Amino acid sequence: MKNKFILVILFSLILILFINLAKSEVYIWDSVNVDSNNNIVDYHGYIQFEDTTATMSGANTPININLWYIIQALPLVLNGSYGSVDWCNLTIQDEQNTFDNLGNILNVTDVVSSYYFGIGAVNSSVLSFSAKNKDSLIADLRCHYTDPRGLYYANILAGSFTTYMSSYECATCTDYSLEQLADMSAKNENITKNELSIFDNIQKVVDYNFQFWKIASWIFKIIIVIGSVGLIFAGVYFFYIFFSNLGKELSQ
């Protein structure tokens, strides 16, 4: 129990340390929407930067957000009976906030960029943006399917994108995508769970060992008490026999 208490205190201190080091939060949502009326599949993404520093440094110090997209070679044939994808369009709405010296929002500006992809080879590139506190990116990658049945064919996306971003505390975080960082976080979480599981198993062995010796101690004490009581009766019986024999000898 004492060791568990120390472990809880240690993890609490580590958690407090990470909270103090936290500089910002980046919120990301994505979804796939199907427009059956227009035969369009929309890969939608929303990214927002939220400053969590006590000094609101994110109001004037932006982070870099890179959006990497890839469009398959068009037309993308979806089996002979399911038609094909003949064009895609990427639209990005960049919402930028302007702050005063006190960190209050003065104005919000929307900057919209649009990229059209027609018949051609595989197309991929990286688009760079900067985001300050409460800035956000809204991305929609819409692809047109010539046959309505192709909208759900094998869950194929003719176009997709992912995000890379940096933070104040990690200058090399742009080397990893969000998915890679999530995988790394999951692996670290599994390692922590395994280490805690090993600790729990060791603790259980110690507890079982303690219980064993506690039970053995009580058994030994009971044996000592029974032996002591037995010796008392044996001593009384010995003196009884001794005095009985002594009385017989004196009477002769």
| pLDDT greater at residue 137 or residue 99 | 137
The residue type of 69 is: Y
CATH architecture of 23-175: Sandwich (2.60)
Mean pLDDT of 148-158: 86
Nearest to 47 by CA among 34, 64, 70: 64
- Residue 118, pLDDT score: 95
Dist CA 76 CA 71 (whole Å) = 10
Cis omega (within 30 of 0) on the bond before 75?
yes
Please determine, for residue 1, whether its predicted confidence score (pLDDT) is greater than 50.
no
129 or 194, which is more confident? 129
Q: Does position 94 have pLDDT exceeding 80, yes or no?
A: yes
State the Cα torsion 93-99-103-105 to the nearest 10°. Answer: -60
| pLDDT confidence bin for 54, thresholds 50/70/90 | low
Contact 117, 132 (CB under 8 A): no
Question: Domain ranges in the chain?
Answer: 23-175, 176-252
Distances (CA, A) of 60 to 64, 67, 104, 165, 166: 13, 22, 12, 17, 16
- Region 14-30 average pLDDT: 52
pLDDT at 116 over 90: yes
- Please compute the mean of the pLDDT values over residues 41-62 and round it to a whole number: 75
Question: Which stretch of 28-42, 104-118, 124-138, 151-165 has the lowest confidence by average pLDDT?
Answer: 151-165
pLDDT exceeds cutoff 70 at 67: yes
Q: What is the dihedral of CA 179, 181, 183, 186, to 10 degrees?
A: -130
User: Which positions ≥6 away from 107 have C-beta within 8 Å?
Assistant: 97, 98
Q: For residue 131, what pLDDT band results from cuts at 50, 70 and 90?
A: confident
Q: How confident is the model at residue 7, as a pLDDT?
A: 39
Which has the closest alpha carbon to 50: 130, 126, 132? 132
User: pTM here?
Assistant: 0.55
What's the pLDDT score for residue 221?
Answer: 80
CA distance 84 to 201: 56
Flag the least confident range among 20-24, 126-130, 185-189: 20-24
Q: Is the pLDDT of residue 21 over 60?
A: no
pLDDT value, residue 38: 95
pLDDT at 252: 64
The pLDDT score that the predictor gives to residue 215 is 83
**Residue 51, number of CB atoms within 10 A of its CB:** 23
- Average pLDDT score over residue span 56-83: 83
